[in-house]
Structure 1
């Protein structure tokens, strides 16, 4: 699955891995039940709700999209710890290459495994990659039901405020 990425972004959003619908369409967060695109709009990152097929438009808004792991699965918990750790190394190299202001990892459990941060919580992290700060967001998957759409949008908005602060 191709990254939506460029140099000097304000935020690089990083999903765990492509779902089966995303792998089929080539669009990030393509499954209709995924709450990424609605949360992005509700939090103020986008002026309207962007469809997965319009994903390239986010570059002009100052952010991009990638994944920790490349292998498509029906559920993120089908990935092995080794795949997530290897993905963390690849992601670190991407961040060092493109130097976004923030890396936003969408899934606290995946972040903990990929970066060996067992106690990480949702929110800004102490760890940085070069000059890039890290923010862990909840997974927007419809399977992550204990985060309501409103709470998810609120956490995205906290990141937006930090990323676009003067």
Structure 2
């Protein structure tokens, strides 16, 4: 009888534990993001959408792809931001129906306040990591591994299509 459930390799065990920590980190980062965004009357989800259109207007579908989220969830956030006049919809010369989400002055102000809070928070957290022996080079190496993992998962998703 053939074993159809092989044991995980050491790399797979390490990767599985990393994924558990990433899930936990996601929750912690969302909570921290909500705390950083709250004084500006925003949430992590709103912050992410505002940041996506900071440099240039984008259609909701592109924002969703950038963030790795469902278009419908981004659409709800974008509509709320437009209702509150933090953003507005504008015609898209590339597509008749897919409007562009454009950052308004009030949205830019809210985003600037959140980004200032995030800079202070990140500086403090970076100092705490440095005190444990984790310097910028370690952080860059971790980021590179996460980037490779993300690219592999994105490619796997394309292969499933």
Q: TM-score scaled by structure 1?
A: 0.22
Query: Which has more strand, going by share of residues?
Result: 1
Q: TM-score scaled by structure 2?
A: 0.22
Query: Which has more helix, going by share of residues?
Result: 2
